[in-house]
Structure 1
């Protein structure tokens, strides 16, 4: 099987991390971008090197899916370590293993610490739990790859407790632009649902309380779905099985061909096949279909299980992002949840890495209630709005910085001048990034004209030094030139070429440093 360009890049990046001594690394691919294929090919290469590979997952469906994909893409067989099945004594070099089985002391004790050379963790956002950590601690010399679809930096910070680097990340916007995933249009429904009384449990909203809060609105929600979903293939996520079954009955009353599946459904496979065929046009479930199930023809997702966990939200929406003939886009229904907490996930969280931009995008979409909005276009507008607000709010602060009598440039002034949104919104994720800047980093920054005192972590210092190096190679203006010219009122000198900045400084010097040369308005001047 020939890998897509980004899949080849991902595979190469993983081995680069391992080869340079980073034992635990992450791969982030959106749902529908073939993460199983990538790690199947990684496993194949590891076997060629003589390794024994363990693929860990927390659900049987994921283990079966991994074994099936490995067989189809590499022609390699897999042994299984789950319940009554054991891989010990098998000649297969790849093992698919259940976390719940392997975490048991007796089971784990049967394996020498060096038994597996490589461990691949599917749905790696689960691996901060004790059960995964116990297995990783036992095989502490193995190279580890975690694979996840989570887009959230908060999750990444948690994963930073386990992993040492991010080998490769392919974002949802890139996947949509590349034509590998369906465009998403989000529609905010003007139905206000009150969640202010819902309690928290294990870091998220309590499912039972959500169900109670949701109950009075189910008929209204069905009416709203009647306006937008009649001609679509829809999956609805609900908090409890009884709520899912109740909502299915309401939808049938309203004329939908609705079905419901849950963990206890004896006819689950038949219902899913019937939905795939088109016998049903709505499928209700209580969080059963978040992982390990694909139906590319799904073109509408309704999230009636509000959550603050972005990896979970991403998994729900990801059930509808795959491409399918005749499918123009995925419609995502977003309700006006009223809650005292502000961390509730919205469509903005699928695409925005900056929290402020996500909040602005959510506000904009709520103002445009009832009108579907392409999430990329909405993110672009929100980003521009936030940048404009930031520039206005920082204008006074920057003016003060420019007037200070010091030779070095404040990092904030520099980031704003070169329009580096990724630097100004940077949040460290992994352990080394969160450490204070090293003396060597501080000295290097100071040598290049940046005041290091305002940089509080090594990750930010590293990114800033990389950017300085890249700009030097591209012949762009230096921090000292930026400070000098912006003191005279010139704007965004960071976008100038170094030679243009030098020429303007020479002209100002020739005028005795009294101001901009005659005939030049520094506020509007561009070289």
Structure 2
């Protein structure tokens, strides 16, 4: 299997972190990006060095998938540590291990603590649980790679308690842009489903309550689906088995050819194969298919399991993002869940870094009433958010002018260069959370950034990286941005350094006044 460029970059980045002494690093790769292939190739590199590798997963299907991809991608066979199977008598240097098996003290004690040199944790967002930690703490000499498709900023902060660095991240927008995943169009269905009486458990809505809350709306939802996706291959996620089975029957009564699978289904493999082969056009499930199942021909996802957990939401949508012949885009149906707090995941949360932009985008999709490409919607929502911020920033800039500060406010710089990732940055790992170092503060001041509002070392590092990159690309400096935007010119951060320098020279030659033939708000550099 030939590696894609980003997969090679990811492999190099992980070994780079380990080689510089990092014990525990994280790889984030969007569902469908080939993360199993990547960690198979990383494993192959470790085995070449004579090392023994443990691949940890919490479900049998994920273990089988890892072993299968390992064989196909590298030719390496795997020993299995699961139930009655043990790797101790095997000569294989790669072991796929069940968390439920290895977490038992009697099982762990059969191994010396230094038995494994490297541990790879598949679906690493689970690794903070006691069962995983028991295993990782036992083999505490091994270097660890966590692999996940789905951390949101909250998850990242949690994972930052264990992992030291993020080695590499390959995002959904980049995968779509580079043509490795299909575009997504979201459509809001105008049904108001009341969740205000649903209680919460472990930070999300309680499944049993969700099933009851959803029940009165199932017929209406089926009718709306008949308008949108009768000719599509659809996967529906529901909170309970009984709700999933009931909805399957309702869909069949509306003319769909629907099937249902759950954790207790004896014929699960057959149903999944029949769905893949086109015998059914809708597959209902109660959260069974969130991980480890691929059917690239799926071109519609219906999320009837509202959630506040972005990682879960991304997993559900990820079942439909793979490329397939004749598949133009994935249709993602969203619903107007009525809840007391606006914490629910919507299509916007698949790509938005900022909650502010996500809320604007969700509202825009809702008002459109038809399928909207989520990347185009994100651009529009970002523009709307920037316009709102600029209005507020204008007042701040006036205050700054009055104070005659010579340095640029970080928010002004971030907005001028249109850096949404900097505006929405949240520190995750231990070193990022600390205050900026004296050296960072001095360097930022020297480069023209007012450092007092930068609260973390991580944010300071990101700003310094961006300033260095901009210098190499010949873009404007913070001082040029402050000077020209202070005189009414807009988005100077997107200009070339030389264009800004020429304009400043003209203004200087005119007695530090903007020439009469230039209108700052309309001016565009050549």
Tell me how large the CA RMSD over aligned residues is. Answer: 1.8
1:402–1:486 CA contact under 8 A, matched in 2: no
Corresponding residue SS for 2:147: strand
Q: Which residue of 1 aligns with 2:387?
A: 388
Is there any run of 5+ residues in structure 1 with no aligned partner, and where? Answer: none
CA distance in structure 2 between the partners assigned to 1:417 and 1:228 by the alignment: 40
CA distance in structure 2 between the partners assigned to 1:277 and 1:365 by the alignment: 33
TM-score by length of 2: 0.96
1:54 aligns with 2:54: yes
Instruction: Give matches, 1:509-524, under 5 Å.
Output: 509-513=508-512, 515-524=513-522
Q: Which residue of 2 aligns with 1:354?
A: 354
2:353–2:421 CA contact under 8 A, matched in 1: no
Q: Which residue of 2 aligns with 1:4?
A: 4
CA distance in structure 2 between the partners assigned to 1:255 and 1:481 by the alignment: 64
CA distance in structure 1 between the partners assigned to 2:338 and 2:514 by the alignment: 54
2:188–2:334 CA contact under 8 A, matched in 1: yes
CA distance in structure 2 between the partners assigned to 1:254 and 1:501 by the alignment: 63
Deviation at 1:448, TM superposition (A): 2.1
Q: Which residue of 2 aligns with 1:211?
A: 211
Deviation at 1:89, TM superposition (A): 2.2
CA distance in structure 1 between the partners assigned to 2:416 and 2:273 by the alignment: 56
CA distance in structure 1 between the partners assigned to 2:333 and 2:98 by the alignment: 35
Larger CA deviation: 149-158 vs 231-240:
149-158
Q: Which residue of 1 aligns with 2:317?
A: 317
Deviation at 1:216, TM superposition (A): 0.6
Corresponding residue SS for 2:289: helix
1:402–1:483 CA contact under 8 A, matched in 2: no
Cα distance change on mapping 1:174 and 1:492 into 2, 3 Å? closer
CA distance in structure 2 between the partners assigned to 1:80 and 1:74 by the alignment: 17
Q: Write the deviation string for residues 61-107 of structure 1: whole angstroms up to 9, x where unpaired.
A: 10011011111111111111111111112110000001111111221
1:340 aligns with 2:340: yes
Deviation at 1:461, TM superposition (A): 0.6
TM-score by length of 1: 0.95
Cα distance change on mapping 1:484 and 1:80 into 2, 3 Å? same
Tell me which stretches of 4 or more aligned residues in structure 1 moved more than 6 Å: none
Q: Which residue of 1 aligns with 2:239?
A: 239
Q: Which residue of 2 aligns with 1:153?
A: 153
Q: Which residue of 1 aligns with 2:126?
A: 126
Larger CA deviation: 201-210 vs 381-390:
381-390
CA distance in structure 2 between the partners assigned to 1:296 and 1:507 by the alignment: 58
Corresponding residue SS for 1:333: strand
Q: Write the deviation string for residues 123-157 of structure 1: whole angstroms up to 9, x where unpaired.
A: 11111212112211222221211111115222211
2:397–2:486 CA contact under 8 A, matched in 1: no
Cα distance change on mapping 1:207 and 1:450 into 2, 3 Å? same
Corresponding residue SS for 2:51: coil
Larger CA deviation: 468-477 vs 112-121:
468-477
Corresponding residue SS for 1:414: helix
Q: Which residue of 2 aligns with 1:372?
A: 371
Instruction: Give matches, 1:496-515, under 5 Å.
Output: 496-513=495-512, 515=513
CA distance in structure 2 between the partners assigned to 1:316 and 1:299 by the alignment: 13
Q: Which residue of 1 aligns with 2:427?
A: 428
Deviation at 1:40, TM superposition (A): 0.8
Cα distance change on mapping 1:487 and 1:52 into 2, 3 Å? same
Is there any run of 5+ residues in structure 2 with no aligned partner, and where? Answer: none
CA distance in structure 2 between the partners assigned to 1:56 and 1:44 by the alignment: 16
